[in-house]
Structure 1
Amino acid sequence: MKIEVLRIGTRLVRDDRVTTHVTLVSRAFGASKIYMYDANPEIKETIEKVNKMWGSDFKVEIIENWKDVIKSKKKDLFKIVHLTMYGENINDVQDQVRGEEKILIVVGAEKVPREAYDMADYNIAIGNQPHSEISALAILMDRILQGQHLQKKYSGGEREIIPTKKGKNVIDKTDN
């Protein structure tokens, strides 16, 4: 399954951190790319540093028009999954979404334009109450990938975490 993420909207002050976290979750939970509309370009630089340090070919693209991305992805046979607290409960649609080959997950910030709801193939709620878009994205991706992303090995990084019961074990690959 190929998963990409589209972040639309911005709320001044708090959103650089939130959008960075949406991007980190996208990367860690198995997406190959995120498109960011109306976002701080420094977030792209931050993720490039994370990729260099820990490995990954995850891509960040700053875009001018989020609707054009959705239209293009639809032409490329992606299913559009819009995360919203107003949508269908994830428990009712997760199996159907899991069967899709290519998915673009739309993660909004403040008030999402009505067009996003209309353009989506799925409007999905993690719960029908206000909640964090960061946690909603993580839950959705975990549900549709059924934990497979947790086994993913990243290559090409300067460092690698060795899982351990206590403490920290990190290999620095730049030490020769």
Structure 2
Amino acid sequence: MKQFLKKYYAITDRKQFRHPFEIQIKKMLDRGIRMFQLREKDLTPDQLFRLATELKDVLSGYDASFFINDRVDVAVIVGANGVHLPSKSIPVEAVKHKFPELIVGKSCHSIDEALKAEKEGADYITFSPIFETPEKGNPVGLEALSQVVEKVSIPVYALGGITEEKIPDVLKTGVYGIAGIRLFIS
């Protein structure tokens, strides 16, 4: 499983992309990003399926993994490595029971949520927002991130408001990796 979890984890938001989808993904690949989450909440199921298929094709030939946000059906049908569940999604254990081959990540915003996700069988979590980021609530900060890393035994990805300048401080907390949207677009 860990071979699919990379240090840097790009979450898509094509509305923020500076280039067409395929070109932007290739630019991220050129920068060494090898883990992607397709998170395009505004798409209809058929549009999401088409974009997921496109992402899979673009990643072909790279040692890259990809996950679909919240849509287990799309993840299974397109052959994604896994699914990433928002904090208020279906339980991790329900997905793992029906689709044990899928890697399942979970968004967490507190230590209690992180512990619950681990107990349910999540393979990894994202913990956010670490720093201030638009429309994501109060930042949890590096101290809370450190506490989560200490309390859970599964990989933790820091997410939210992380800039290139902040990466060294974030990595000092012992996180498995860093996830982001804007961080990887430039």
Q: State the TM-score, normalizing by the size of structure 2.
A: 0.39
- By relative contact order (CA 8 Å, sep 6+), the higher-ranking structure is 1
Q: State the TM-score, normalizing by the size of structure 1.
A: 0.41
Structure (1 or 2) with the greater strand fraction: 1
